Amino acid sequence: MNTLFAFNLGPMEIIVILLLGVLLFGRRLPEVGRYLGKGIVEFKKGVRGLEDEMDTTAHAAAPLQASPEAIRPPQRVGTTAPKFEDRPAPVNAPPQV
């Protein structure tokens, strides 16, 4: 008893399914196959792109963690904080420059 995958399809059931496919799609069967092939190729390209992205992300993160000598000490910054008034200006008063 031969079965196809986990669907328990025998040879007679496969022939019936193929006949139904030919009856339903008829002359458009090559076109359907072509679209199916293009879809599979696009899916594989997408998976390959995701794998490449994951590889480049892993390689880019590894050198940052592997080289502790590259860490520099903190540097002093010569800027000052902005000065704010303790009380807000009155609403009717002109702005101070």
Note the pLDDT of residue 81: 67
User: Is residue 89 a contact partner of residue 96, using CB atoms and an 8 Å limit?
Assistant: yes
Note the pLDDT of residue 5: 57
Low-confidence ranges of the chain (pLDDT < 70): 1-6, 59-68, 81-91, 93-97
DSSP secondary structure of 1-35: ---BTTTTB-HHHHHHHHHHHHHHHGGGHHHHHHH
Place of tokens 């986990």: 6
Contacts of 63 (CB under 8 A, 6+ apart): none
